[in-house]
Amino acid sequence: MALAVTIIIAVAICFLTVLFSYRYVRKTFDSIDQVLDSVLAKNTDLPLEATADNRLSKLTHKAVKIIQMNTMDISQTRQEKEIIQSFISDMSHQMKTPLSGIAMYTDLLLEGRITEAERQEFLSRVKMGTEKLQWMMDSLVKMSRLEVGAIELSPVSTGIKQTISDSISTVYGAAAKKNISIQTAYFEDVSLLHDRKWTSEAITNILENAIKYSSANREINISLETLPIYTKISITDYGIGIAPDEWNSIFKRFYRGRNAKGVDGAGLGLYLASLIFHKQDGYILVDSKPGKYTTFSMFLQNCKK
């Protein structure tokens, strides 16, 4: 008798345990199913709490993250598309000015009723226009290759001294024309993670700007300083300077500084330079006092020992 009762109770307990386990598992699966449904519907407004201290809440939280990653990828692609669109419209606009100049002066030259002095003048303007277009084309080709990723920069551990002196020799002639001396403070050569060819190109752009916007007969200073993670290369000129509210804009494509009107340029040099540094996990900062000085600081990663 007692045995029969024990058996019945045991069976009942087993049955109840199985029943409750089954219901619990079913409920959990239903909840997971709900979460997955939301993921499929890209709905971050999940039916379940993402802020409780239990397993299901953690799962919900992770589901929200997955949805976010997804939306982020989509918005990134959309952004890139917008960048390309605005780039094309910017570019066509920028090419228009020199092109229409060339067309106009060629027309005038073809008409023929002009003095010799005028002819010389028009020809030199045509030459200026073509030079500007040429320079823009060169920059555009480099830029598009970098942006599309057709050229992969290969930053390797190499001494920076040679890279800097390559850039200095490229701009030496332009500096000499304005009687500007480029002074480099003594520094020990350090190995930095960089692609020599492209980094030299970026530094050259910064130096060309320094020369362009500096007054004649002044100095340009180059210095180098090693910090814990990065090494900073600074180039200072004593020219027209850049107002603080423009610091964020000058690295934009086709942006010309307010002070830069009247100086030849297309607004591509700094953009290209900052692109090159970003591609190597480096960056550029600017500091300036209008009318006094401008310092561009370029940061490249130190090589890990």
Partner 1 sequence: MPVLSTQGLKKHYGKEPHIVRALDGIDIAVEAGEFVAVVGMSGSGKSTLLHMLGGLDKPTDGKVIVDGQELAKMSDEQLTIFRRRNVGFVFQSYNLVPILSVYENIVLPIELDGNTIDRAFIDEIIDTLGLGEKRDNLPNMLSGGQRQRVAIARALATKPSILLADEPTGNLDTKTSQDVLGVLKMTSTKFHQTMMMITHNEQIAQLSDRVIHIEDGKIVREGRS
Residues that bind partner 1 (CB under 8 A): 44-45, 49-53, 57-58, 61, 64-65, 68, 71-72, 75-76, 225, 227-230, 232, 244, 247-249, 251-252, 281-283, 285-287, 297, 299, 304
Distance CA 122, CA 128 (A): 10
Distance CA 59, CA 153 (A): 40
Residue 271 neighbours by CB distance under 10 Å: 19
Distance CA 221, CA 223 (A): 7
> For residues 49 and 264, which CB has a smaller minimum distance to partner 1 in the complex?
49
Q: In terms of Cα–Cα distance, which of 3, 64, 60, 5 is closest to 28?
A: 60
Shortest spacing between CB 130 and partner 1, in angstroms: 33
Shortest spacing between CB 287 and partner 1, in angstroms: 6
> For residues 65 and 292, which CB has a smaller minimum distance to partner 1 in the complex?
65
Distance CA 239, CA 259 (A): 10
> For residues 6 and 79, which CB has a smaller minimum distance to partner 1 in the complex?
79
Shortest spacing between CB 283 and partner 1, in angstroms: 6
3-state SS, one letter per residue, for 215-281:
CCCCEEEEEEEECCCEEEEEEEECECCCCHHHCCCCCCCCCCCHHHCCCCCCCCHHHHHHHHHHHCC
> For residues 111 and 188, which CB has a smaller minimum distance to partner 1 in the complex?
188
Shortest spacing between CB 211 and partner 1, in angstroms: 23
> For residues 198 and 299, which CB has a smaller minimum distance to partner 1 in the complex?
299
Shortest spacing between CB 154 and partner 1, in angstroms: 18
Distance CA 251, CA 274 (A): 7
